[in-house]
């Protein structure tokens, strides 16, 4: 079998939506497992929709996700150029070939001609008028006009497009790896433009020609392209490339959280979550959109959550590294139904991936947050703090928000806890705890706990009754990571010192 080659073929019309990243990811997982090549092809034939910076954004976003290309505009390769605008000269010959073989024709219709056709057909009761095997007979094209007239118009330089001539009443079959056989009658298809008057091919022609020339074996793309697949199948046939036709797999849509339609940027804005991998500022409007990266997501978590939108491993496991995903991925396990996006679940994935990492991996980012808060601290201490906090945090930024007390004495104490737990005997009991802990030689969580329980027994107070209060007096907060481990990390002197300060300064309000 020939080498497996797949491509991700975005149009640089704006930032890459997370659905686009998912398409790139599924291609990547599929091809890496089969040790094939992954190609980035920039489909920029539509000059009117070109957006400055979009290509760069796409490359950076996928780099962040650790999705690497073997070929592309940024890395080169044997099948380049990899931008369609730079391949312009290659397409015309295929359009000409189709005209010669009778599968395409010149069409000289002006926008007014096209509008008039639509009006006519609507008036005749056609719900969605199109340029097809019926209407083409009354239009300004080389099938309807005399040969002399066509030659004259061509010689006079009258602008034209080249349209495919869709055959009448034929079954067109697409074998889709996700959906099985998809069959349409050609009467439903319109004579799509293949080549535009500006000398550029349209998406359809360029896409098929490039997949052929780049020896693409599998086309894995979003479901929105399924309606175009029959046309592509016809193009392979008409160009004599039927035996080289790639396999098709159309991925299910990513849906809004309520399952009601495709997930869009507007849903993200409305519900407060990003739909793009990285921050993006529109160069024309200046409007900016937030990205998962800047929101604090780990690339690993983002990739993991995307992988499970439309694919499943066949069991209940949910946490995977990209290497594991490569190992497990198969098109057979891609579902037909749209996949509902759930931001709460996305947060859960991030939390889980934070737990899976080594504290060292957060050292630089957390130290920079500490620096911004004027804290300098030794790495060993910072690593211990991270190890404790990473069990429960969703974002690295939470390390500071939830754990600044490791570095600073509390400024105030959770009043709710004080009101509930502070009793007349408390100062005396806490004094005893301070004394017990001051004498402790081995300041480890285990010993701290044992000594505390011992102290409670000797002084006849209930150890459980003070745990939350002690946390509050030492950290200011009512909850946090494992209690005695927290005390161990804060250190003996600091813990006893904070308790002493608390005894002098605590005021129980209300
Ligand atoms: N340029 C198309 C897009 O922007 C590519 C579709 C395909 O993969 O064939 O999604």
103-145 pLDDT, tens digit per residue, is: 999 999 999 999 999 999 999 999 889 999 999 999 999 999 9
Q: Which of 9, 17, 39 for a ligand 1 pocket mutation test, highest count of atoms within 8 Å of Cβ?
A: 9
**Cα–Cα dist 431/434, whole Å:** 5
**Whether residue 58 has its Cβ less than 6 Å from ligand 1:** no
**CA-closest residue to ligand 1 atom 2:** 10
Side-chain half-sphere exposure of 322, counting CA atoms within 13 A? 21
Question: What pLDDT digit, counting tens, does each position of 170-207 carry?
Answer: 999 999 999 999 999 999 999 999 999 999 999 999 99
In the CATH scheme, what is the code of domain 89-195?
3.90.800.10
* Residue in 211, 113, 209, 107 with CA at minimum distance from that of residue 165: 107
Task: Give the residue-averaged pLDDT of 27-53.
Answer: 94
Residue with CA nearest ligand 1 atom 5: 9
Span from the CA of 148 to the centroid of ligand 1 (angstroms):
39
CA of 10 to the centre of ligand 1 (A): 5
Q: Is the pLDDT of residue 510 over 70?
A: no
Tell me how far the alpha carbon of residue 82 lies from the centroid of ligand 1, in angstroms: 14
The Å distance, Cα 11 to ligand 1 centre, comes to 7
Question: What kind and span of H or E run contains 351?
Answer: helix 343-356
CA of 34 to the centre of ligand 1 (A): 22
Tens of pLDDT, residues 354-391: 999 999 999 999 999 999 999 999 999 999 999 999 99
Residue 226 CB–ligand 1 contact under 6 Å: no
Topology agreement, domain 89-195 and domain 415-509: no
Give the CATH architecture of domain 415-509.
Answer: Orthogonal Bundle (1.10)
20 CA closest ligand 1 atom index = 10
Pick the catalytic residue from 33, 237, 262, 265: 265
| Comparison of pLDDT for 46 and 302, the residue scoring more | 302
Give nearest CA residue, ligand 1 atom 3. 10
Query: What confidence tens digit (pLDDT) does each residue in 307-361 have?
Result: 999 999 999 999 999 999 999 999 999 999 999 999 999 999 999 999 999 999 9
Annotated catalytic, 265?
yes
> Topology of domain 265-354, per CATH?
1.10.1160
The fold adopted by the segment(s) 5-73+204-252 is Rossmann fold (3.40.50)
Q: Where do the domains of the chain lie?
A: 5-73+204-252, 89-195, 265-354, 361-402, 415-509
pTM: 0.92
pLDDT for res 142: 98
43 lines ligand 1 (CB under 6 A): yes
Length of the chain: 510
Q: Distances from the Cα of 321 to the Cαs of 31, 243, 391, 483, 503, in angstroms?
A: 16, 37, 18, 31, 48
Compute the distance between CA of residue 392 and CA of residue 385 in angstroms, rounded to an integer: 12
Identify the residue whose C-alpha is closest to ligand 1 atom 10: 10
Strand partners, 334: 311
Token pair in block for residue 442: 């081995």
pLDDT (0 to 100) of residue 46: 87
Segment 51-75 mean pLDDT = 97
Find out whether the beta carbon of 218 lies less than 6 Å from any atom of ligand 1: no
């Amino acid at each position: 079998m020939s080498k497996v080659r797949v491509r991700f073929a975005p149009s640089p019309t704006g930032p890459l939506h997370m659905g686009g990243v998912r398409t790139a990811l599924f291609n990547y997982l599929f091809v890496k497992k089969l040790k094939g090549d992954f190609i980035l092809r920039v489909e920029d034939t539509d000059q009117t929709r070109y957006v400055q910076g979009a290509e760069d954004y796409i490359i950076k976003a996928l780099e962040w996700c650790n999705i690497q290309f073997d070929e592309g505009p940024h890395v080169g390769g044997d099948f380049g150029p990899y931008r369609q605008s730079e391949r312009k000269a290659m397409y015309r010959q295929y359009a000409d070939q189709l005209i010669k073989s009778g599968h395409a024709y010149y069409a000289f219709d002006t926008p007014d001609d096209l509008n008039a056709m639509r009006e006519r057909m609507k008036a005749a009761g056609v719900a969605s008028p199109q340029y097809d095997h019926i209407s083409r007979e009354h239009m300004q094209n080389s099938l309807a006009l005399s040969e002399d007239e066509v030659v004259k118009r061509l010689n006079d330089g009258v602008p034209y497009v080249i349209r495919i001539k869709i055959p009448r009443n034929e079954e067109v079959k697409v074998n889709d790896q996700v959906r099985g056989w998809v069959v349409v009658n050609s009467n439903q298809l319109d004579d799509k433009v293949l080549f535009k008057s500006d000398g550029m091919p349209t998406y359809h022609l360029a896409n098929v020609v490039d997949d052929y020339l780049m020896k693409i074996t599998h086309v894995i793309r979003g479901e929105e392209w399924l309606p175009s697949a029959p046309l592509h199948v016809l193009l392979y046939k008409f160009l004599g490339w039927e035996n080289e036709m790639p396999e098709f797999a159309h991925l299910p849509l990513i849906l809004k959280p309520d399952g009601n339609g495709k997930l869009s940027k507007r849903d993200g804005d409305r519900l407060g979550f990003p739909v793009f991998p990285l921050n993006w500022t529109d160069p024309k409007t200046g409007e900016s959109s937030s990205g998962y990266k800047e929101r604090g997501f780990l690339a690993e978590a983002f990739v993991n959550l995307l992988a499970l939108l439309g694919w499943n491993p066949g069991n209940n496991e949910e946490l995977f590294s990209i290497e594991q995903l490569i190992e497990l991925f198969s098109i057979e396990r891609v579902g037909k139904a749209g996949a509902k996006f759930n931001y709460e679940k996305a947060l859960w994935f991030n939390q889980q991936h934070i737990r899976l990492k080594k504290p060292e991996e957060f050292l630089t980012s957390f130290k920079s947050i500490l620096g911004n808060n004027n804290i300098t601290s030794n790495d060993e201490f910072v690593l211990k703090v991270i190890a404790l906090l990473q069990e429960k945090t969703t974002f690295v930024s939470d390390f500071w928000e939830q754990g600044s007390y490791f570095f600073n004495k509390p400024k105030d104490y959770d009043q709710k806890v004080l009101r509930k737990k502070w009793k007349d005997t408390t100062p005396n009991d806490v004094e005893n705890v301070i004394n017990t802990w001051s004498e402790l030689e081995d300041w480890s969580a285990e010993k701290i706990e044992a000594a505390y329980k011992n102290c409670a027994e000797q002084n006849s107070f209930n150890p459980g009754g003070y745990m939350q209060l002690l946390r509050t007096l030492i950290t200011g907060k009512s909850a946090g990571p494992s209690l005695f481990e927290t005390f161990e990390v804060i250190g003996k002197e600091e813990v006893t010192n904070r308790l002493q300060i608390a005894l002098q300064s605590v005021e129980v309000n209300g």
